[in-house]
Amino acid sequence: MSSLEILKYPDERLKQVSTEVEAFDDALRSFIIKLEVTMRAGPGGVGIAAPQVARFEHIVIVDVSNKPKIKHNGCMILVNPEITEWDGYKIGREGCMSVPDYTGNVMRAERIKLEAFDEHGIKREFECEGYEARAVQHEIDHLDGLLFLDRLVSRKKDLFRRKVYKNK
């Protein structure tokens, strides 16, 4: 199966706010399969959001299970995801298939809890931390029309901010 075309910044459509999925049908499941193929074909390939392929609905896939030595939930199909709890902050490096050849530092919650529906409309709950939590937040941002470029932080500040957190 071939990959879907990834929208690239400065395509204005990446700023569009997406809407919730209403029908959990075969068309949705078929799209999710294509979305996953597209994610795995990309560099890194740990996450993708439907707006990146010009489908403006609340659909995200995150799978960081190929990274060694980290906690993860396997392949997460997240339809209409909602983050319900945030805890801690950490700066990490991010890039995006929609923003080639540029990476930057972004602050994200270290641990999150979220609710979402799977591709069959069954409600699921997840707890994520670290790299996986970062990936989920990065992808959910796409649903709100936000890119990691909207959240860049200075590198110099990293040093001082991190020390402050350690002292908490």
Partner 1 sequence: MSNWYMLNLIGNDQSGIVAQVTSALYKGGSHLGETSMMRLGGNFTMMMMVNLEGSADDLVKIVQPIADKLNLHVHIDSIEGRLHQHIEPNVRVTVFGADRAGIVAQVTGVLAESGMDILDLESDVGGTEDKPIYIMYMEGLAEDGIEALRTALESVRNEGIDVDVEEIETLIG
Nearest to partner 1 of 21, 46 (CB atom)? 46
Near partner 1 in 78-107, by CB under 8 A: 92-97, 101-103
- Is residue 125 part of the annotated active site? The answer reads no
* Helix (H) or strand (E) run with residue 34 in it: helix 26-41
Q: Which two tokens stand for residue 145?
A: 């029309």
Q: CB of 46: closest distance to partner 1 in angstroms? A: 6
Choosing from 4, 51, 59, 138, the residue that interacts with partner 1 (CB under 8 A) is: 138
Closest by Cα among 34, 33, 29, 27 to 2: 34
Distance, CA of 33 to chain centre = 17
Near partner 1 in 12-71, by CB under 8 A: 42-49, 62, 67
Size of the site for partner 1 (CB under 8 A): 29
Residues 119, 116, 67, 156, CA torsion sign: positive
| Residues acting as catalytic residues | 139
